[in-house]
Amino acid sequence: MIICNCRSFPLPPEHGGGGYWVGEDAAFGGIMRNKFYITTPIYYVNDQPHIGHAYTTILADVLARYHRMMGVPVFFLTGTDEHGQKVKRAAEKAGRTPKEHADATVVRFQDLWKKLQITNDDFIRTTEERHRRVVQEILSRLYENDDIYRSEYDGWYCVACERYYTEKDLVEGRCPEQGCGRQVERLRESNYFFRMGKYQDWLIAYIEQHPEFIQPDFRRNETLGFLRKKLNDLCVSRPKSRMDWGIELPFDSDYVTYVWFDALVNYISAVGYLRDEDLFSRWWPASYHLIGKDILTTHTVYWPTMLKAMGLQMPECVFAHGWWLVGQDKMSKTKGNVVNPMEMVDRYGADAFRYFLMSAMPLGQDASFSEDLFERRYNADLANDLGNMLSRVMKLVADRCGGQIPRPVHSGAEEDRLRNLALAAVRKMREAVNAMKVDAGLAAVSEVVREANRYLEKTQPWTLARDGREEEMRTVLYCAAEVLRVVGGLLQPVMPSKMATLYATLGCKDAPTLFASLEQWNVLQPGTPVGPMVTLFPKTAKDGSVQIAEPKAVGELGRTAAPTMAAAKAEEGDGAEVEYEQFEKLDLRTARVISAEKVPSADKLLKLEIELGQEKRQIIAGIARHYKPEDLVGKIIVVVANLKPIRIRGLESKGMLLAAADEDAGVLRLVTVDGTIVKSGLKVK
């Protein structure tokens, strides 16, 4: 069932049973999906999580949330890779045992996933007993079937990738993997090998017959290109004499399992393979393995040949996404350009961070990251478009409709057009999710928000309110509120907390749980009390302290901004015309608020310290009922800089700030500077 106070829409019986269809012609399309099992790679515990880890996990979470809204049973798996030489060396450097190191560092990922609102169904650690038993049982079976044998190895080894290479594999004597290129080590030792080459012809045929297996298409071609040369067998062991941190081979206690063979098994050990047949048959094969493009070979060559040897079905799709770049460079610790997702979340909030990552990267392609790009998208899409629309609509609903969802009287061509655009966005989002193009779905939603803002500018409900055209105003506001309801539902998987706030502001008890509610119109019940006013996405600047401009609340109510001394207010002028020469005498300047505090025993007055270029001044302003002191610090305001000083309550006030007031609504807003000007002391012309 769905959500908003008085109306709910159950899924039609023909769409029940926990499935959905994908396509254009029917309400849900044409292909049935009865479950959705999605995985991320499991992440090494040798270091801090970075933006790449965050991106893959948020993407998996967003896809899982959208599929839950489609009524599809979902299993979402993530976890950590805790064996191998990299972990052992990191532990030695930290003065801990490998297990102590893993226990100490795994919480970095677990804490970040909580902070990023990740809704994984399971979190697997490769040091868990449930995983170890499955790995050893698989090794035993493959050894008994002669798919694993012992032989001598003489070649090159990359510690960072934990992989062996032949001489011809190397690139200028270094590791050939994308993004690695590190120095390799020469090794000669006896080891155990999996007969991976035995399955080369089968794998090539499978990939060619199942083009959906590796996505995007160019990654499939990359794997096929790799398979054009002879596929060597895969070393699946490490001698304990050299590296003892791993799962012991069940048939030779002098060896541990190669970390990649161990790690890949997590995708089946977590869902019951060899321990819970019902659980395993419910979820396997996986719908999507999400990976970064740097681990394409392990997931599209190693993993399918391992599964083939086990006699298991292939996953439906291995999807390799791109890298986040800084300029044209891959992020790396050595270059010092790694983005810490914890810091971004602390600064901007999890929802905004999730939105940027999902909207700014076309799936499969590389994308550039910078705080400037982040802030521009945040301010444009979220603060200016969506946040400002919510503020405009709900302010009028509160002031002109008694704080209740208004009853629409009629629906004209403009309303019909906006409704059709909103409902089309629901279909486009379904198609985008099914096509792994989340960014395209979000672009369609953003276009609806922009159209809704254009609709408000065209219909001007604030003017309708001023002119007493109540029925037209209510229709406009109801239509806009319905757009917000649909948009909020479509964005909920990406920004769950903020969209829950949006729904509460609309007076809805809960955010939507199924897409069916978003495919309906006129769901909001007229007369429903709306929630409290919120600033959903405050504008931000690089220092995190400046709001470039306030929402257009005053202008929307049909009032013209006029200079007013909001300190001890004198008699208002009579509106008589003035000569330009008189106006020219006023020196209007930008000023930054350095500090603000209440004036004792004065309910209306605040004492502001302002920066005016190189000068600091004090202004007493009667705005305490409209602004909290802490909300003013950092604002760029406009002041009359050459006004003769006066004393108010014994305090000097040197200058006058400008504000716009709607006396009927009891609203006052400071005149601030729009655009990118953040300096104080600039002349206002």
Q: Which helix (H) or strand (E) holds 60?
A: helix 51-69
The DSSP symbol for 385 reads I
Q: What are the residue boundaries of the structural domains of the chain, listed by start? A: 13-347, 370-519, 553-670
Q: How far apart are CA 501 and CA 478, in angstroms?
A: 18
pLDDT for position 464: 94
Say what the pLDDT of residue 337 is: 64
Tokens matching residue 275: 């321990």
**Omega prior to 551 cis, within 30 of 0:** no
* The residue type at 324: W
Q: State the pTM of this model.
A: 0.75
Token readout for 18 is 């926990």
Q: What is the pLDDT of residues 300-330, one digit of tens each?
A: 999 999 999 999 999 999 999 998 887 666 6
The Cα 6–Cα 405 span in angstroms is: 12
Same fold, 370-519 and 553-670: no
CATH superfamily of the domain spanning 370-519: Isoleucyl-tRNA Synthetase; Domain 1 (1.10.730.10)
- The residue type of 4 is C
Q: Under a CB-based contact definition with an 8 Å cutoff, are residues 293 and 321 in contact?
A: yes
Q: For residues 131 and 269, is the Cβ–Cβ distance under 8 A?
A: yes
15-24's contacts with Cβ under 8 Å and 24+ in sequence apart are 15/71, 15/516, 16/71, 18/71, 18/72, 18/73, 19/71, 19/72, 20/70, 20/71, 20/72, 22/430, 22/431, 22/434, 24/427, 24/431
Q: Which residues contact 63 (CB under 8 A, 6 or more apart)?
A: 36, 38, 288, 433, 438
Pick the CATH number of 553-670 from 3.40.50.300, 1.10.10.1100, 2.40.50.140, 3.20.20.330: 2.40.50.140
Q: What is the pLDDT of residues 398-454, one digit of tens each?
A: 999 999 999 999 889 999 999 999 999 999 999 999 999 999 999 999 999 999 999
The pLDDT assigned to 580 comes to 52
Encoded tokens for 652: 């000097």
DSSP letter at 171 equals B
How high is the pLDDT of residue 648? 78
* CA–CA distance, 512 with 3 (Å, rounded to integer): 6
The predicted pLDDT at position 177 comes to 77
Q: Which residues of the chain fall below pLDDT 50? A: 1-31, 542-576
Buried b (16+ CB within 10 A) or exposed e, 310-349: beeebbbbbbbbbbbebeeebbeeeeeebbebbebbeebb
pLDDT digits (tens, 9 = 90+) for 497-532: 999 999 999 999 888 888 899 999 999 999 999 999
Assigned architecture for domain 13-347 = 3-Layer(aba) Sandwich (3.40)
Going by C-alpha positions, the residue among 632, 593, 624, 635 that lies closest to residue 610 is 593
Hey, what are 401's tokens? 């409709």
* Sign of the C-alpha dihedral computed for residues 457, 458, 463 and 465 taken in this order: negative
Reduce the DSSP state of residue 194 to 3 states and report it. Answer: strand
